[in-house]
A and B are shown apart, each in its own frame.
Chain A
Amino acid sequence: MVKPPHDRRAFITRTVGALAGLALVPDLADLLPRLSQAAATNVAVIGLGRHGRAILAELQKIPQVSVAAICDRLEGRLTLARQRAATAAHFTDHKVMLETRPDITAVIVATPTHLHRAIVEDVIAAGRHVYCEAPIASTIEDCLAVATAAAGARTVCQAGFQARSNPTYRRAQPLVRSELRDIVSMSGQWHRKTSWRFPASAGESDAQASWRLDPAVSTGLAGEVGALQFDVFHWCRGSYPERITGRGSVRHHKDGRTVADTIDLDLIWTDGAVLRYSATLANSYGGQYELINGINGSVRLMWSHGWMFKEPDAPTQGWEVYATRQQVLEEEGIVLIANATQLAEQGQLQAGVGLPHPSLYYSLMDFLKSVTEGAPVVCSMEEGARASIVGILANQAIVTGKEVTVDLGRVG
Chain B
Amino acid sequence: MGTRFELVAATSQAIGELVMAEVEDWHHRLSRFAPDSWVSHVNRTAAHEVVRCDDDTWDLLTDASLAWRDSGGAFDITRGDADALILDATSHTIRFTREGMSIDLGGIGKGHALDCCARLLRRHGVTTAFMHGGTSSGIALGLDPAGHPWRVSVETRALHLADTAFAVSDASSQATAHIIDPRTKVPVTVTSPHPVVVTGPSARVCDAWATALVVLGRAPSTFPVGYAHGETTTR
Kindly list chain B residues whose C-beta atoms are within 8 Å of the C-beta of A57: 29, 38, 54
Kindly list chain B residues whose C-beta atoms are within 8 Å of the C-beta of A348: 44
Give a binary string over B200-213; 1 marks a CB under 8 Å from any A CB, 0 the rest: 00000000000000
Is residue B52 within 8 Å, beta carbon to beta carbon, of the partner chain? yes
Q: Which B residue's beta carbon lies closest to that of A53? A: B25
Q: B114 to nearest A CB, angstroms?
A: 17
Is residue A9 within 8 Å, beta carbon to beta carbon, of the partner chain? no
Kindly list chain B residues whose C-beta atoms are within 8 Å of the C-beta of A61: 38, 41, 51-52
Give a binary string over A337-356; 1 marks a CB under 8 Å from any B CB, 0 the rest: 00000000000111000111
- Select one of A195, A349, A354 contacting B13, CB under 8 A: A195
- Select one of B14, B44, B49 contacting A210, CB under 8 A: B14
A63 and B49 within 8 A (CB): yes
Give a binary string over A41-61; 1 marks a CB under 8 Å from any B CB, 0 the rest: 000000000100010110011
Is residue B199 within 8 Å, beta carbon to beta carbon, of the partner chain? no
Interface residues of B in 121-174 (CB under 8 A from A): 123-124
In the bound complex, CA of A56 to CA of B123 (Å): 21
A60-B52, A83-B54, A86-B55 known; A350+B12 contact, CB < 8 A: no
Interface residues of A in 334-390 (CB under 8 A from B): 348-350, 354-358, 361
B35 and A349 within 8 A (CB): yes
Q: A30 to nearest B CB, angstroms?
A: 14
In the bound complex, CA of A354 to CA of B123 (Å): 35
In the bound complex, CA of A348 to CA of B48 (Å): 14
B55 and A82 within 8 A (CB): yes
Kindly list chain B residues whose C-beta atoms are within 8 Å of the C-beta of A357: 36, 41
Is residue A199 within 8 Å, beta carbon to beta carbon, of the partner chain? yes
- Select one of B28, B35, B49 contacting A350, CB under 8 A: B35
Q: Which of the candidate stretches B15-23, B69-77, B78-86, B223-231 sits at the interface with the other chain?
A: B15-23
Count chain A CB atoms within 10 A of each CB in B21, B52, B53 and give the residue with the most: B52
Interface residues of A in 69-112 (CB under 8 A from B): 76, 80, 82-86
B14 and A199 within 8 A (CB): yes
Q: B217 to nearest A CB, angstroms?
A: 34
Is residue B175 within 8 Å, beta carbon to beta carbon, of the partner chain? no
In the bound complex, CA of A356 to CA of B31 (Å): 12
Is residue A304 within 8 Å, beta carbon to beta carbon, of the partner chain? yes
CB within 8 Å: A-B pair count: 69
Is residue B191 within 8 Å, beta carbon to beta carbon, of the partner chain? no
B54 and A85 within 8 A (CB): yes
Interface residues on B, range: 20 to 34
Kindly list chain A residues whose C-beta atoms are within 8 Å of the C-beta of B18: 198-199
Kindly list chain A residues whose C-beta atoms are within 8 Å of the C-beta of B21: 50
Interface residues of B in 29-52 (CB under 8 A from A): 29, 33-36, 38, 40-41, 44, 49-52
- Select one of B17, B40, B50 contacting A194, CB under 8 A: B17
Is residue A402 within 8 Å, beta carbon to beta carbon, of the partner chain? no
Number of A residues, CB within 8 Å of B:
32
Kindly list chain A residues whose C-beta atoms are within 8 Å of the C-beta of B56: 83-84
Q: Which B residue's beta carbon lies closest to that of A206? A: B14
B44 and A84 within 8 A (CB): no
A195 and B17 within 8 A (CB): yes
A76-B123, A195-B17, A356-B44 known; A350+B54 contact, CB < 8 A: no
Q: Which B residue's beta carbon lies closest to that of A349? A: B35
In the bound complex, CA of A194 to CA of B18 (Å): 10
Q: B54 to nearest A CB, angstroms?
A: 4
Q: A210 to nearest B CB, angstroms?
A: 7
Is residue A197 within 8 Å, beta carbon to beta carbon, of the partner chain? yes
In the bound complex, CA of A209 to CA of B18 (Å): 12
A356 and B54 within 8 A (CB): no
Give a binary string over A107-147; 1 marks a CB under 8 Å from any B CB, 0 the rest: 00000000000000000000000000000000000000000
In the bound complex, CA of A76 to CA of B18 (Å): 15
- Select one of A199, A349, A350 contacting B15, CB under 8 A: A199
B14 and A356 within 8 A (CB): no
B17 and A197 within 8 A (CB): yes
Kindly list chain B residues whose C-beta atoms are within 8 Å of the C-beta of A80: 123
Kindly list chain A residues whose C-beta atoms are within 8 Å of the C-beta of B49: 63
Q: B88 to nearest A CB, angstroms?
A: 14
B14 and A354 within 8 A (CB): no
Kindly list chain A residues whose C-beta atoms are within 8 Å of the C-beta of B25: 50, 54
A84 and B36 within 8 A (CB): no
Q: Which A residue's beta carbon lies closest to that of B15? A: A199
A356 and B36 within 8 A (CB): yes
A86 and B36 within 8 A (CB): no
In the bound complex, CA of A361 to CA of B28 (Å): 14
**Inter-chain pairs besides A50-B21, A194-B17, A210-B14, 9 sampled, C-beta below 8 Å:** A57-B54, A61-B52, A197-B13, A197-B14, A199-B12, A199-B15, A199-B18, A304-B36, A356-B44
User: Can you list 28 A-B pairs, Cβ within 8 angstroms, ordered by A?
Assistant: A32-B44, A50-B21, A54-B25, A56-B54, A57-B29, A60-B53, A60-B54, A61-B51, A80-B123, A84-B54, A86-B55, A194-B17, A195-B14, A199-B14, A199-B18, A199-B124, A210-B14, A304-B36, A348-B44, A350-B33, A350-B35, A350-B40, A354-B35, A355-B35, A355-B36, A356-B35, A356-B36, A356-B44
Using a CB–CB cutoff of 8 Å, the interface residues on chain B facing chain A are 12-15, 17-18, 21, 25, 28-29, 33-36, 38, 40-41, 44, 49-56, 92, 123-124
Counting from the closest, the 3 A-B pairs by CB-CB distance are A197-B14, A84-B54, A83-B55
